[in-house]
A and B are shown apart, each in its own frame.
Chain A
Amino acid sequence: MDYFLTEEQQMIREIAAKIATEKVRPVRAELDESEEFPWDIMKILAQSDLFGIYLPEEYGGSGGGVLENCLAIEEMGRACISVATTFAASGLGAYPILLYGSEEQKQKYLSPIASGEKLAAFGVTEANAGSDAGGIQSTAKRDGDHYVLNGTKQWITNAGEAEIYTVVAMTDRTKGARGASAFVVEKGDPGFSFGKKEKKMGLRASATRELLFNDCRIPADRLIGREGTGFIITMKTFDVSRPGIGALGVGLSQGALDISVEYARKRVQFGKPIIAFQAVQHMLADMATETEASRVLVYAAARYIDSGAKDISKISAISKLYPTDVAMRVTTNAVQVLGGYGYMRDYPVEKMMRDAKILQIYEGTNQIQRNIIGQELNKEYGRMKETFF
């Protein structure tokens, strides 16, 4: 397929694919086993200028957008979504600053993120607030020229490894979601520390920890946007980041399909390669079809967002929902195609299946995506005057 990418987009894809094939694929099993944070690979991605592909040139990026980001994420995800998630999560931490930060904040924080010198992370989820961001209990109290943060963020990707954190805390609990505000917190700020590293089913090379705020004092100019805009900043951030999760799904599905087809062509049973059996052929055909459909969807959504369109919530949710459900199906079937080998940890597809599950959960569960899509449909059709009967 030719997706009519620009020369620069093709280069991004080539570089990310080369790194994925030569530097990520050979170590993915080891990283999964050891749960080691992939710093070596992050350094390579930094040297190759990939951390800045979605950031404007004035902040050290190369001026691309969501599509450029998705292309790199997809290619890395084809080898390992733990590594690709680590990369993508830095972007998730950067987006609130890019979208709502002051010029000073952009200058200060986006440049080191674009160069890959520093990783970023985004912290919203808490013990009682995940899908329901309104349930956030962390607080930020104004104290002269400072804010004082208290509370605990949970399951934060890149926690402990990142230098720059964008977090959401309540500046006015009486206002519910409208009392939430977003802040930049730096590693090393007084009263800011990290909880234990989580043990996960998959995505094991990605660091997942708590952010602990214990009278954490930060200068008042760390507030992103205005007080009370934390919830909207979160929603708008997810609107631009979700196609990236879709891209992880596309890459993961493609990686599982690659192995499945190669295996089915070699594995001989009843005197022929199993790809000659219709039962297997049709499974592979469905896997390929759904993977390609996911890719088309992610690219189309990314291009629409990059066009500057405002009504992006629905397509963004769709571009996360479908490719990630597909990735779960495709990786499950990849294990099936490989049979006993697929279930063994000596082969890469069982890891892909374990990894796939997180895609249906993080950055808004797929049930939440369906909520968003449903609510948007209700709004869209409510505005229409015509009838379709």
Chain B
Amino acid sequence: MHIVVCIKQVPDAKNVRIDPETNTLVRQGVDSIVNPHDWYAVEAALLLRDEYGGKATVMTMGPPQAEEALRETLALGVDEAVLLSDRAFAGADTWATSLTLARAVEKLGPVDLVICGKQAIDGDTAQVGPGLAAHLDQPYTTYGRRLELVDGDQLRVERLTDFGYEVVQMALPAVVTVVREIGDPRMPGLKHKMRAKKLEIPTWGAADLDLNPEEVGLQGSFTQVVKVFSPPPRSDREMITGEVEEQAEKLFKLLRAGKVPGL
């Protein structure tokens, strides 16, 4: 099977500061890392490839230096990599990003499965995975903690929920996002690392993907970040204690009196 992993290069959260004047992220002098959740996507792809054969291709959209992120994942044994880089891609929202990624998946030829991390730690939207599925017109499942191929063309996903997990089965080709419970990403290997250093990574721009400039980047984005701000501190809270019936009674009274803090 051919599996594509979409990753993102993000600022290293350990060194991130918020500019108190502008309330925006200070990106200057901050190292870039592979989005931590994406390592689980890489591991998920390698586990599937190791078990069922085929190949894993890693892909990212970003500036030319995002190639470094691709090489880092190649050192774990990913087979191939593609960089989507074009000045026109800059400023893309999740719509434009997922559209661009979807076109690249199509260009890669028959792809059985696209795997993404559950979300990126900078934007935290968790929209690009599902967006990709929409643009590809494929089924998707989010928060996968275990992936298994069944009947040759179906993916069975154990999907993490707040209370346990659901088992979802969908027909391939499909998109899945995964969580940490997939398993720790493996350590880099010397042979893979040597290969990663030398491997030629193709760079595709908008033209390579048959996308018009107005479909990508800022121009192709339907949303816009108007303002970034720190949320105001929460108002006073009151913890209701006691037996369950007692608590319900107290809450009921507060609601009736319109005295629920924060409402």
A residues with CB within 8 A of B: 7-8, 11-12, 14-15, 18-19, 22-23, 44, 47-50, 53, 62
Contacts and interface: CB of A to CB of B under 8 A. Distances in A.
B183 interface: no
Interface string B182-226: 000011111101100100000000000000000000000000000
B187 A12 contact: no
B191 A62 contact: yes
B197 to A, nearest CB: 7
B190 A18 contact: no
Contact of A23 (B187, B188, B191): B187
- Scoring B187, B189, B190 by chain A CB atoms within 10 A of each residue's CB, the highest score goes to B190
Contacts of A19: 187
B186 A50 contact: no
A7 B194 CA distance: 9
B190 A11 contact: yes
Contacts of B194: 8, 11, 62
Contacts of A53: 190
Contact of A22 (B187, B189, B197): B187
- Chain B contact residues: helix, strand, loop or mixed: helix
Interface in B104-136: none
B197 A7 contact: yes
A49 B187 contact: no
Interface residues of B, number: 9
Nearest to A62: B190
5 contacts: A11-B190, A44-B187, A47-B187, A48-B187, A48-B189
Contacts of A18: 187-188
Contacts of B197: 7, 11
Contact of B189 (A7, A8, A15, A23): A15
A62 B193 CA distance: 12
Given A11-B193, A14-B193, A49-B191, 5 more contacts: A8-B190, A8-B194, A11-B190, A23-B187, A48-B188
B198 to A, nearest CB: 10
A2 to B, nearest CB: 19
B219 to A, nearest CB: 40
A40 to B, nearest CB: 11
A198 B184 CA distance: 34
A14 B187 CA distance: 11
Nearest to B191: A49
A67 to B, nearest CB: 14
A59 to B, nearest CB: 15
A50 B194 CA distance: 13
A48 B187 CA distance: 7
- Scoring B186, B189, B191, B197 by chain A CB atoms within 10 A of each residue's CB, the highest score goes to B189
Nearest to A49: B190
Q: Kindly list the 6 A-B residue pairs having the minimum CB-CB distance in the complex, ordered from nearest.
A: A49-B190, A48-B189, A49-B189, A11-B193, A48-B187, A49-B191
B186 to A, nearest CB: 6
B190 A15 contact: yes
A50 B188 contact: no
Contacts of A8: 190, 194
A15 B188 contact: yes
B83 to A, nearest CB: 22
B191 A15 contact: no
B261 to A, nearest CB: 40
A50 B187 CA distance: 11
Contacts of A23: 187
Nearest to A23: B187
B39 to A, nearest CB: 12
Contacts of B188: 14-15, 18, 48
Contacts of B187: 15, 18-19, 22-23, 44, 47-48
A358 B202 CA distance: 52
A8 B189 CA distance: 12
A318 B186 CA distance: 38
A43 B213 CA distance: 49
- Scoring A12, A49, A62 by chain B CB atoms within 10 A of each residue's CB, the highest score goes to A49
Contacts of B191: 49, 62
Interface in B125-173: none
A47 B193 contact: no
A47 B190 contact: no
